[in-house]
């Protein structure tokens, strides 16, 4: 029998209307959107289904919106009796992975990520931080570039190690600009500035991490039911104390997604189900190892297809 990993996307995958069909057709999914509205004391569901795209993209809206949509989809897998062998997420997606693994309730998680988004937004004044995707350069060479620029007084560091040849850097606006230029001079194919509201996964997020620690203190964290691969270590985390420490550290540390997928391969995982809007993570998985089976699920049709595939090919559905 194949081993299945559930993967959960992070910011950037959101779009107006995501999850709406599920809300209208599936009572288990509707309950999740209603719970989010209640926990946040706002009509998050209305923003997701028919709101303004620019408003949804604001980090403190995008984070709870993506978590809610992902968990609304997850509920259909739970209803079908499918339990993953491992879970993992990309940045914000790690919270969805922890909900799926039973480490935190959805209600606590949606509140925590709303606050996380607010703290990240407040940590660095608009325009002072930046992020850029560097294509066609390996991590070691790029690390030398960012270390040099930082030593010269403009902080920049590796933020997302996504897949071979795709690494995101983050830091001060000047640091990212200089590192992008030097990366291209040292062989990078392209440097693409990202449309983000702050320098996420950089040292500049440490003030946000301190505030997040207080929020997580108020959440009830538990040991996981299934192993979760941490963004920070690209290794297994199952104990609640370790989970809390890793979630705090994650805000200012690189997301080691390529290493996460390689760790899951080492653990014998062969099927990767991306639960949430978009297909970003499925694409990254294929770039790490094109032979892996990926299934992206985001609406009733793709959920049914995934359940059927699991049942027919892998015997995972009850």
**What local confidence, expressed as pLDDT, does residue 213 receive?**
97
Q: Tokens 């289904």: give the residue.
A: 49
Question: Looking at the structure, do residues 112 and 215 belong to the same domain, yes or no?
Answer: yes
DSSP classification of residue 228: E
Give the number of domains in the chain.
2
**What local confidence, expressed as pLDDT, does residue 45 receive?**
98
Q: Residue 67 is part of a domain; what is its CATH number?
A: 3.40.366.10
**What local confidence, expressed as pLDDT, does residue 197 receive?**
81
Question: Looking at the structure, do residues 211 and 86 belong to the same domain, yes or no?
Answer: yes
Which of the residues 45, 91, 96, 298 is marked catalytic? 91
Question: Looking at the structure, do residues 95 and 211 belong to the same domain, yes or no?
Answer: yes
Active-site annotation holds for 91: yes
**What local confidence, expressed as pLDDT, does residue 77 receive?**
96
Full DSSP string of 257-287: HHHHHHHHHHTTEEEEEEESSSSHHHHHHHH
Question: Looking at the structure, do residues 16 and 119 belong to the same domain, yes or no?
Answer: yes
Q: Residue 178 is part of a domain; what is its CATH number?
A: 3.30.70.250
**What local confidence, expressed as pLDDT, does residue 116 receive?**
97
This prediction's pTM: 0.96
Full domain range(s) for residue 154: 129-196
Which of the residues 29, 45, 180, 201 is marked catalytic? 201
Q: Tokens 């850097």: give the residue.
A: 169
Query: Cβ(301)–Cβ(39) under 8 Å?
Result: no
Question: Looking at the structure, do residues 137 and 210 belong to the same domain, yes or no?
Answer: no
Instruction: List alpha helices for 198-277, DSSP H.
Output: 206-217, 240-250, 257-266
Any residues with CB less than 8 A from the CB of 111 and at least 6 apart, and which? 39, 40, 215, 219
Question: Looking at the structure, do residues 40 and 65 belong to the same domain, yes or no?
Answer: yes
Query: Cβ(74)–Cβ(100) under 8 Å?
Result: yes
Q: From edge to edge, which strands make up the β-sheet containing 269-275?
A: 236-237, 228-229, 86-89, 3-8, 269-275, 293-297
**What local confidence, expressed as pLDDT, does residue 318 receive?**
47
Question: Looking at the structure, do residues 184 and 146 belong to the same domain, yes or no?
Answer: yes
At which of 196, 224, 252 does a domain end?
A: 196
**What local confidence, expressed as pLDDT, does residue 169 receive?**
98
Largest CA distance in the chain: 58
**What local confidence, expressed as pLDDT, does residue 126 receive?**
81
At which of 196, 218, 239 does a domain end?
A: 196
Active-site annotation holds for 233: no
Q: 139-157: b or e for each residue (b if 16 or more CB lie within 10 Å)?
A: beebbebbeebbeeebbbb
Question: Looking at the structure, do residues 134 and 81 belong to the same domain, yes or no?
Answer: no
Which residue positions in the chain have pLDDT lower than 50?
A: 318
């Amino acid at each position: 029998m194949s081993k299945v990993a559930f993967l959960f996307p992070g910011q950037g995958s959101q779009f107006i209307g995501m999850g709406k069909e599920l809300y209208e057709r599936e009572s288990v999914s509707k309950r999740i959107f209603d719970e989010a509205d209640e926990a946040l004391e706002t009509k998050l569901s209305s923003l997701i289904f028919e709101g303004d795209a620019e408003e949804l993209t604001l980090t403190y809206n995008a984070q709870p919106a993506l978590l809610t949509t992902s968990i609304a989809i997850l509920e259909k897998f739970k209803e079908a009796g499918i339990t993953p062998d491992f879970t993992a997420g990309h940045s914000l997606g790690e919270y969805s992975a922890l909900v799926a693994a039973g480490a935190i309730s959805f209600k606590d998680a949606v509140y925590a990520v709303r606050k996380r988004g607010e703290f990240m937004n407040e940590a660095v004044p608009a325009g002072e931080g930046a992020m850029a995707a560097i294509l066609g350069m390996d991590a070691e060479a790029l690390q030398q570039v960012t270390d040099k620029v930082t030593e010269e007084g403009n902080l920049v560091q590796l933020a997302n190690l996504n897949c071979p040849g795709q690494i995101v850097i983050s830091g001060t606006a000047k640091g990212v600009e200089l590192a992008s230029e030097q990366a291209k001079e040292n062989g990078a194919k392209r440097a693409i500035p990202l449309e983000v509201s702050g320098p996420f996964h950089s040292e500049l997020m440490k003030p946000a991490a301190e505030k997040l620690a207080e929020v997580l203190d108020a959440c009830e964290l538990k040991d996981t039911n299934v192993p979760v691969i941490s963004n920070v270590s690209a290794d297994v985390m199952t104990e609640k104390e370790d989970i809390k420490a890793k979630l705090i550290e994650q805000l200012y540390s690189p997301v080691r997604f390529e290493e996460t997928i390689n760790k899951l391969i080492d653990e014998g995982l062969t099927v990767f189900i991306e639960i949430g809007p978009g297909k970003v993570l499925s694409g990254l998985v294929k770039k790490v190892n094109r032979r892996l089976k990926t299934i992206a699920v985001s609406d009733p049709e793709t959920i049914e297809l995934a359940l059927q595939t699991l049942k027919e090919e892998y015997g995972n559905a009850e």
